Structure 1
Amino acid sequence: MNDLRAMQVQLASAMLVGASPLAGSLHGDDKADEASRLAIYQHGYRIRLREALATEFPGLALLAGRKFPRLLDDYVAAHPSTHFNIRWHGDGLATFLAHTSPWCDRPELAEMAQLDWAISSAFDAADHVTVSTGDLAGIAPDAWATLRLHPLPHAKLLRGTCNVDAFRRAADRGQPRPALRRWRRPRHLLVWRPALDVHYRQVATGELPALLGALNGESFAHLCERLSERHGMAALPRMAALLAQWLDEGLIGRLALPGT
């Protein structure tokens, strides 16, 4: 390893994990000594990481309030960036909040981070065509039972116990902080991007079984079977209504039949 490369590796280690560079690799002057110069770089690096994280997690910033800077500092200290693109540094924030004290005592924080990250990831996902009503015209009547409705590849279904979507919506619209509400039973949020804008909404209880089945790649017949437990003989009309809704929302990215 040449001297320049060695110096770069040492400086990166000092930024990422606080390692001390080898003696003589840094030099001071009459304005700042070696330690002060290194501290400036370390402080600037952490500020840049916090700024990038704040951009990716606006809902979390609104929910955490004055504790948001400390939350980010704790995460940066525990999880140095390992990716060349700073955009991906927040990938582990939701897991960190769910399992690290004192943040794990507030489960809404991890749920909010999970929603923020799903929205950000959907925004950055590759563009994908969506299925329209006209695309169904070529499906033969006897093929519907085995037809599979594949949602967009980046679509995410999130399970939570709080109204974190209200905080993200308020952050997006520049509105005041809403009141935190905790559900008696867990609810689900769907996140997807049909075109340029990311959409997110709560999933109705009656929709959830079919949506889970679609995300798992189950056939149209199996989706109807899932709905029959709740709707009985009305399962097929209900599934048809859900299909129309999903197509209108731009949620379905591909139709598939056996062998395709």
Structure 2
Amino acid sequence: MKPDQPPVDHNIGRKHFCPTRMRRTILEMAYAGSTVHIGCAFSIVELISVLYRNYLRYPENNPDAEGRDYLVLSKGHGVMAQYACMHELGWISDEQIKGYFADGSELKGLSDSRVRGLEVTSGSLGHGFSVGVGIAMGLKRRGTDQKVYAILGDGELNEGAVWEGVLVAAHHDLDNLMLIVDQNGFQAMGSTEEILKLGDLDDKFQSFGFQTAEVDGHDEVEIDTAISKLWAERTGKPKALVARTVKGKGVPFMESDNRWHYTRLTEDTFAQAVEALKTSRDQL
């Protein structure tokens, strides 16, 4: 397979990774486990859906396949969105979803490499991307056509380790690496604009030697087109996709309300959120 070609079709189809259904799965997990980080999982649903549906290669649907591509969820607190995709693939059972965060559950609130299908242990922000850079460097030296996708939050870009990784990726011409920024405008304790202004991210990544694109992070067609174009243009540079997103996307009373970074669902708010999803443009 040529490096600029999309992966083989695993017969997953568009019916899988439906954003509304995945958000419902996230709500079910968060409610069952009385846990947090709903908003930051909702903001990456379309991004991660497109990756799993159209780009990530898992020969024979095996998350441990030697020739697989790698998804590094550097913003590890958004892991419920990845769990929802893994549920779609059959890697996580209904029982595991219902038992999320219960005593003895394998599924943690942060990405954990001990869970089959998760590549890194992340959540200590800024570190996951560096692991992704290392994986990409190893694959490039081996001469494979495997790719690495690393999803970071915009608040995570406050961390100096991210920019060290960006320098290393550009210096070593890691054109098998794509950094994806979930630019939802918030971090744990406030807006990114208030806490540490990031400026024009597209310009920043270009200045560091990356090939870049900006997209609406909830428009699956736009995301797919941008990723395909970034791979097709053989510049020899690492890629950066800056995705403008809405924290809490899909449930109006959660959207751009940073309280849902740490707020737990009650019986009433769970029912209200499920009802709100029914009016989404995406159908279950």
Which TM-score tier does this pair reach, normalised by the shorter chain?
Answer: under 0.3
Name the TM-score, length of structure 2 as normaliser.
Answer: 0.25
- State the structure with more CA Rg: 1
Q: Which has the higher contact order (CA 8 A, sep 6+)?
A: 2
